[in-house]
Chain A
Amino acid sequence: MRFNHILTPAIFLLLAAGLLIISYWFEDSYLWLSFSLVFLTILFFLVRFEGRTIEPKELVLLAVLAAIAAVGRIPFASIPSVQPTTFVIMIAGLVFGAESGFVIGAVAALASNMIMGQGPWTPWQMVSWGLVGMTAGAMKNTPIMNTKLGRLGFGIVWGFLFGWIMNIWGFLGFVQSGGPIDLKAFLVYIGASTLFDTMHAVSNVVFLLLFGDIWIKILTRFKRKYGLLE
């Protein structure tokens, strides 16, 4: 199953375009469209992942990080929005690159929900956390990810962005079918989640501030130890 690097994105772009056309047909169902787009995003990255031959060592490493990100959710389950998962995925993406970052985020969400219970939120979480890892990896050579301040900013932005992506499905569920998407309503909806998103952002900052450097050091050490330097 080797996918050409140009062919895969092309197929997926076509699929996305097709979706837009279908959604024009069902002109009112944004929820349905958004679900499909989310699925397509996940599938896109997974197919790319599939096309790469991955050493057992790397596979195990990804699994350990995803498992730690997932297990990290459990002790914090009682505090809404506060969890080390985002932090772990971010650092993992930063050290191991965009593709690994996405896969770790997506697997962490999927696997932890296989234990805590799947819901319609699963694909959204997969995409949100996947994107956390992906963007961290994509920006790993930029000044943003190479300064402490930049990383803190990244953590804050994702604290809110994560909440907003998760809000989309809730919001679309809320206004779907016929109702025009009202910007004011969306802002109100987002405002309601601001408290939680702020907590998420703050917890990201706290984790990054206290443990960011040491975790990058630890993971870089293991990257070398596992022989995974590119």
Chain B
Amino acid sequence: MGTRFARFHPLVSFLFYAGSVMLLILMLHPVFQVISVFLIIGINIIHDRLAGLRKWKYLLLVTFVLMVVLNPLFNERGRHLLFMAGDHRITLEAVLYGGMNAFSIIGIIAVFISYNVIMTPNKVLFLFSKFLPQFAVLLMLTLRFIPLMSRRMEEISLVQKSKGIMVTNGNWRTRVKTAFSYVQALLTYSLEEAIQTADSMKARGYGTGPRTSYEFFRIRSKDSIAIVILTLLLSIIIYGRSLGYGVLTIYPMMEDWRLATWDTAVLICYILYLSFPIYVEAGEAFRWHLSN
């Protein structure tokens, strides 16, 4: 992962993602949302050339269509009638409303796709070890065991196959039974073996005293600056939002969708916040360009 954003302290990345999700939930305004979707796609392009988004495209598409279509079907409220479907009123409000929610949800999912690229298990563990050290050890063990278990599971099914016991044999009932007997063998085997894991932890002094954690990441000045910038922007936006800017009220009366001056100011902060990973990368490219 060569992106500059990925090299920030995990706290910065985490703050960015948490804030983004919060903003996507809070800032329900078509203008804000359309812009946010473009920005998030941009972030995904930089981070993994859309590989993640492509994997999830059906989920995103289905969610989007469902939300846009379903809302007007359930919701007849609104003054701007678009058309009648039978005796069902399809209103502009309902469509807009569904669309805004759809944008909000797919925006969040898209943010998480980028999150999955940037927030590697290592970083998540690091954050947990700062705040919840014992839970972090548990999470570390679990993450260690998962690939081990899936490999053991493969081995078990292979060995059982050699005995003529296969999941593809017999009727539905026997199949479930066979599949689960594998899981059961995995359970007994793994619990048996894991006693040694506990011994190995104790042999290396686990639980003897206060535990420190290896600083895989250090907060450097650029991390502090990033935290200050992001927090500042976030505070301004949320303050603005609490005053009623950056949101399109639909019920009981639909507002004008155009932005007032203060809305625009909030929008600028919003763009600055969400495009943080983008201009960080652009700055890097620019510096690279200068130094070469």
Contacts and interface: CB of A to CB of B under 8 A. Distances in A.
User: Quick check: do A and B touch in the complex, using CB within 8 A?
Assistant: yes
Interface string B124-135: 100000001111
B191 A108 contact: no
A26 B184 contact: no
A138 B142 CA distance: 24
Contacts, number: 171
A177 to B, nearest CB: 5
Interface stretch (B41-49, B242-250, B259-267): B242-250
A63 B177 CA distance: 25
Contacts of A206: 176
Q: Is the interface of B mostly helix, strand, loop or mixed?
A: helix
B26 interface: yes
A206 to B, nearest CB: 6
Interface size class of B (residues with CB under 8 A): 35 or more
Contacts of B21: 35, 120
A1 B250 CA distance: 47
Interface residues of A, number: 63
Nearest to B193: A64
Interface string B98-129: 00110011001100110110010100100000
Interface stretch (A5-13, A47-55, A129-137): A47-55
Contact of A63 (B70, B104, B145): B145
Contact of A111 (B119, B143, B176, B194): B143
Nearest to A39: B18
Contact of B25 (A32, A57, A71): A32
Interface of A: 1, 25-26, 29, 31-32, 35, 46-47, 49-50, 53-57, 59-64, 66-68, 70-72, 74-75, 84, 103, 107-108, 110-112, 114-115, 117-120, 173-179, 182, 185, 188, 206-207, 210-211, 214-215, 218, 222, 225-226
25 contacts: A29-B25, A35-B21, A46-B135, A49-B132, A50-B135, A56-B201, A59-B201, A60-B194, A60-B197, A61-B191, A66-B142, A70-B146, A103-B138, A119-B108, A120-B108, A173-B67, A174-B70, A175-B101, A179-B97, A188-B74, A206-B176, A210-B176, A211-B180, A214-B184, A226-B195
